[in-house]
Chain A
Amino acid sequence: MERYLALSIGALFTAGFYCLLRRSTVRLALGIVLLGHATNLLLFTVNGLQRARPPLVPEGAEAPTPPFADPLPQAFILTAIVITFGLLALLLVLVHRTEQAVGTDDTQALRAELPDSER
């Protein structure tokens, strides 16, 4: 399963990178979301996958009964999902405000808005 997932993650990264390289800021935001998915799945698979129980301790026991899934990447991903969302919210509002102020969502055109000295 890890091998199939490895190929799928590569495909998601490809899609994300491709979106980043396009000119539209909408595509840019899409690309960031796709990169977030790809990275989370990467964290998920990198230490092996198990079709196992969730890492929960049964009531009254001291430790979970094996086999159980690795809890550490799950904790990381939980944090990552939330942070990606925070980042995305800021990015989207920024794109929106930029579009209002400048009237374009084209990153190449935004470059033309810089004063000459900073170009």
Chain B
Amino acid sequence: MSLSLAFLTSFAAAPLSLLITRLSRRWSGGVLAAVPAGLMLWFASRAPAVLRGELPAIDMPWVPELGLAFALRLDGLSLLMALLITGMGALVFLYAGRYLGQRRHLSRFYAWLFLFMGGMLGIVLADDALLLFICWEVTTFSSFILIGFEHKEEEAREAAQRALLITALGGQALLVGLVLLGDVAGTLSLSRMLEPERVEQVRGGSRYLPILLLVLAGTFTKSAQVPFHTWLPGAMTAPTPVSAYLHAATMVKAGVYLLARLSPLLGGTAAWEWLLTGVGAVTMVSGALLALGHTDFKRLLAYATVSVLGALVLLLGQGTAHAVQAMVVFLTVHALYKGALFLVAGVVDHEAGTRELPEVGGLLRRLPITGAAAGAAALSMMGVPPLFGFVGKELVYEACLEGPGGWPLALTAALGFSLMVAAALRAGVRPFVGGSFRAGKPEAQVHEAPSSMWAGPALLATAGLALGLAPKALQPLLGAAAAAIGGAEAGHLELKLWHGLTPALGLSAASLAAGGALFAARAPVLRGLQALHLERWGPERLYQASLEGLKRLAHAQTRVLQSGSLRRYLAVTLSTLGGLLALTLALRLRAPPPGPPGEILLHEAAVLVLMLGAAVLAVTTRSVLTSLMALGAVGLAEALLYAFFGAPDLAMTQVVVQTLTVILFALIFSRFPVEPHEERPRWRDAPLALAVGGLLSWALLHVAAVPPHTRIAQFYATHSVPEAHGLNIVNVILVDFRAFDTLGEVTVLATSGVGVYLLFRTGARQRRRT
């Protein structure tokens, strides 16, 4: 029960943030940070049970008709992710309180952040595929809102739209994939899917490949894999706390998380191995390359995040026990240092007034604590011993060397890491120690940020250092997370700083040296990369072209369909009606059924002739008065028909209403100047009207051949007196059996009466004024 409470707390906190912000803007961040911090403590207190293998879980039916269950489960992987989400959340709330303190809509910002946190916790806790999908979409949507938070800026709106289009389309694919998966496996429960016979059904089934491709479409878009990565750098228009939280530490890892969660079910096949390893490797190298070519602090970090996400996917593609362990460790490493670096970027932006890396330098004197945190985080990113990043990198190399990828894959990874080393030096070191300060404001005015802003990066960087020195502290938790993905074998995780003189150490040293050299020679490299405009190629082009195409298509079809011409709308409507009628008649029935024409009495024939003649006159005459008289005649003829065929009530009502109609027409149009329009010639409107009218007649002739249905009439006839005590059956139907219909009718009439009154009144008022 308390598990669902933990899940729902953030949703409940969203409205609370509105109140807290109103009470105190200054302290709101610190107060609200208590919510994620409390949740983190709660999750941490569950750790001993989870490590013992007693997994807290709940399973309640939600919408059983759809197979939707409210099922949550906390295993090692969920616990690790939940701790990252709530821990980073606490730091980010604390930070945002100061970072956005003066900004408008701060409370709204908090509310969306809480909503995101709830969705993200839901993703990692959900044991039901559909519940997971719902939470997945919650994060997509809150990410969209938060990217477009500065909604008055064109760039932010464009970036938000792009992120939504890419991730939401991927989400649709994921939904189809999960539903297919649930259909094949026979359950939507993620833990029950892993039962051996169900795994057999999924992997051996003919629908394995479509399921895999759909799930990959969802996860790759969310985790910004090439070619879907283009939304992530754009997302940097979001306020920095959002970039640190959603677009580095948590949300972009949702895709990796889901892949990890499903890898025992979908993994281990050739398609899985090739697709994940291939896409991951390409993403890792191209992400790092793009990162190196950027001068904007946050964009550089965003591309570096793309690169790391590629590495994580690559490791899942390898799928060995070691690869799974490396993935879990590297994910944690990345969350720590990338969160810190993003928060540092925010501090630099906030204090120095620029995010352009070449414009800042020597900031360590001005921002000592922030600078130290940035340095430690960057060293962890580079994988320098004795930081936690070194431990993670060693594991990645070892997993690559031992896995099916072997040396070629390890060298690819080394290439990616070398580029990343150079990027880390540019982002985390050079702005603080080397170069000169050339930003807009005088260097002397740059001060250290308030403690609530440096606390986050300092804490995260310290954690990176401490875990590097004593990696055993996290060993049980990370082992449990790896075991949740790769089984017991992956659970035997041994973390240590010194692995001995291994090939992995050699690769590590080589990538550090190569990265250092690349950084030393950065000027020509940078110029070359910038001249290539890598980010404008390929997927970027495709995205722009398809967006333009979509807009053009919308314009073209709107011009045709929404022409603003009433006549065209009616012509389209009538043609559709006629077309469908003609199709049905042609497909299912042929000519009108044969048979005697039926008898017609003389007075009936006379009334029909009168009615049709009056209708023709009403349509053809140019005089409004003649039209009105003819219209009255049609109505009276209709009333006579009702009278002939046993409906005196209808006849009476028809006479009254028809009289009122003619009076109303006469009142309105007596003062109406009827100018002859330059009408289209009649022959252009008449054929369509004739065709549709003719088709309706044809259909009615078929209807007339069907024997009448009498059961309902019999029901009303026999129940009218005993149940409703009324002798006039039509009346009884109206006010008793179908009284709600009559209530609706009265409502329509009253509404129309109010409308008529208002229109007349405003008309009179305007006339007085003129």
Chain A residues proximal to chain B, CB less than 8 Å: 1-15, 17-24, 26, 28-30, 33-34, 37, 40-42, 44-59, 61-64, 68-72, 74-75, 77-79, 81-90, 92-97, 99-101, 105-108, 110-111, 114, 118-119
Contact = CB atoms under 8 A, between A and B. Distances in A.
B764 to A, nearest CB: 10
Interface residues of B, number: 101
Interface string B566-597: 11001100100000000000000000000001
B718 A74 contact: no
B721 A63 contact: yes
Contacts of A19: 619
A11 B693 contact: yes
Contact of B708 (A47, A92, A94): A47
B748 A64 contact: no
Nearest to A64: B717
A101 B759 CA distance: 12
B692 interface: yes
Interface stretch (B312-320, B462-470, B644-652): B644-652
B509 interface: no
B749 A26 contact: no
A7 B730 contact: no
Contact of A29 (B574, B665, B749, B752): B665
Given A57-B717, A74-B649, 11 more contacts: A11-B693, A44-B645, A48-B708, A57-B727, A75-B734, A78-B653, A82-B745, A83-B745, A89-B756, A95-B668, A97-B762
B661 interface: yes
B704 A6 contact: yes
Contacts of A105: 672, 674-675
Contact of B567 (A21, A37, A40, A93): A21
Contacts of A108: 565, 567, 677
* A-B CB proximity, top 4 nearest: A10-B697, A14-B693, A69-B646, A48-B708
B675 to A, nearest CB: 8
A41 B641 contact: yes
Interface of B: 564-567, 570-571, 574, 597-600, 604-605, 608, 611-612, 615-616, 618-619, 624, 627, 631, 634-635, 638, 641-642, 644-650, 653-654, 657, 660-661, 664-665, 668-669, 672, 674-675, 677, 679-680, 685-686, 688-690, 692-694, 696-698, 700-701, 703-704, 707-710, 712-713, 716-718, 720-722, 726-730, 733-734, 738, 741-742, 745, 748-749, 751-753, 755-756, 759-760, 762-763, 766-767
B685 A70 contact: no
Contacts of A4: 597-598, 600, 604-605, 608
Given A37-B634, A47-B708, A88 B661 contact: yes
A35 B167 CA distance: 49
Contact of A45 (B597, B649, B704): B704
Given A17-B574, A23-B567, A77 B650 contact: yes
A58 to B, nearest CB: 8
A10 B615 CA distance: 12
Contacts of B760: 93
Contacts of B665: 29, 92
For A13, A42, A70, the residue with the greatest tally of chain B CB atoms inside 10 Å of its CB is A70
A114 B564 contact: yes
Contacts, number: 281
Nearest to B630: A30
Given A89-B756, A93-B755, A57 B730 contact: no
A57 B720 contact: yes
16 contacts: A6-B700, A6-B703, A17-B574, A21-B570, A26-B674, A34-B619, A47-B708, A54-B648, A63-B720, A70-B713, A75-B730, A85-B749, A92-B665, A92-B668, A111-B565, A119-B564
Contact of B700 (A46, A55, A69, A74): A46
Contacts of A97: 759, 762-763
A15 B618 contact: yes
B689 A82 contact: no
Contacts of A69: 645-647
A17 B689 contact: yes
A22 B635 CA distance: 22
A51 B700 contact: no
Contact of A3 (B598, B669, B696, B767): B598
Contacts of B654: 81
B627 A51 contact: no
A92 B752 CA distance: 11
A8 B756 contact: no
Nearest to A52: B646
A33 B717 contact: no
Nearest to A118: B564
B646 A11 contact: no
Contacts of A30: 618-619, 627, 631
Contacts of B693: 10-15, 17
A24 B692 contact: no
A21 B685 contact: yes
B677 A81 contact: no
A8 B672 contact: no
Given A5-B608, A6-B701, A14-B694, A71 B689 contact: no
A55 B608 CA distance: 24
A103 B654 CA distance: 33
Contacts of A95: 668
B25 to A, nearest CB: 40
A72 B734 contact: no
B694 to A, nearest CB: 6
A106 B717 CA distance: 50
Contact of B734 (A37, A70, A79, A100): A79
Given A68-B717, A96-B672, A34 B700 contact: no
Contacts of B635: 33, 37
Given A18-B685, A89-B756, A114-B564, A64 B704 contact: no
Contacts of A62: 718, 721-722
Contact of A96 (B668, B738, B751): B668
Contacts of A83: 745, 748-749
Contact of A71 (B661, B733, B745, B756): B733
For A45, A50, A78, A83, the residue with the greatest tally of chain B CB atoms inside 10 Å of its CB is A78
A7 B717 contact: no
Given A50-B645, A56-B728, A18 B564 contact: no
A94 B686 CA distance: 27
A48 B703 CA distance: 9
Contact of B634 (A6, A34, A75, A114): A34
Contacts of A71: 713, 716-717, 729-730, 733
Given A37-B634, A40-B638, A78-B649, A10 B694 contact: yes
A18 B600 contact: no
Given A17-B692, A81-B654, A55 B729 contact: yes
Contacts of B741: 79
A18 B619 contact: yes
Contact of A44 (B605, B615, B647, B661): B647
A24 B710 contact: no
A78 B571 contact: no
Nearest to B637: A37
